[in-house]
């Protein structure tokens, strides 16, 4: 959905139409929830609470620089419950980060979102493989830059 879409109004309207046809909305599934606006995450919470529509949102926590997405951050703040779906790194350990690759090379700068029109790929990495690939932990780097 586009950033300006009011999810509460959209889904409430769909739910009302469904109820009129005796086809109630059983639940709302949201994929790529990290791309939602914070206000849209609040819309989802209101749908769950006020309209009693169960909402299941799936997404990643952080970008390729280990910064949280606004939608993910808000979901972590207001979600009724969280369930981690574990991903495995190429080395076999638990993946926690997403490495951005351009060609065969990992990159660690650029826009937070690079999907349309850009030849990039993403790989789930454990912290060790992320750092080995050249990843930088931003707050540690900022502290070191002040010294």
**Interval 109-123: pLDDT, tens:** 888 887 666 688 999
Contact in structure between 87 and 131 (CB atoms under 8 Å): no
Structure confidence at residue 76 as a pLDDT band (50, 70, 90) = very high
Mean pLDDT of the chain: 92
23, 32, 77, 132: which is the annotated catalytic residue? 32
- Please report how many Cα atoms fall inside a 13 Å half-sphere around the Cα of residue 29, on the Cβ side: 2
The pTM (predicted TM-score) of the whole model is 0.85
* Maximum Cα–Cα distance across the chain: 66
Percentage, residues of the chain above pLDDT 90: 80
Q: Residue 23 catalytic?
A: no
Kindly state the average pLDDT of the residues 47-62.
96
C-alpha torsion sign, points 8, 14, 18, 20:
positive
Contact in structure between 64 and 99 (CB atoms under 8 Å): yes
């Amino acid at each position: 959905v586009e950033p300006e879409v009011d999810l509460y109004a959209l889904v409430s309207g769909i739910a009302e139409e469904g109820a009129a046809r005796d086809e109630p909305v059983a639940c709302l599934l949201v994929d790529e929830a990290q791309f939602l606006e914070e206000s849209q995450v609040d819309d989802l919470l209101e749908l769950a609470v006020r309209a009693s529509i169960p909402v299941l949102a799936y997404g990643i926590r952080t970008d390729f620089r280990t910064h949280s997405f606004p939608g993910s951050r808000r979901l972590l703040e207001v979600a009724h419950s969280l369930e981690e779906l574990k991903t495995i790194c190429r080395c076999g350990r638990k993946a926690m980060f997403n490495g951005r690759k351009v060609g065969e090379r990992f990159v660690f700068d650029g826009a937070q979102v690079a999907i349309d029109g850009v030849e990039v790929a993403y790989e789930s990495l454990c912290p060790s493989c992320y750092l080995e690939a050249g990843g930088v932990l931003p707050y540690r780097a900022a502290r070191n830059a002040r010294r």
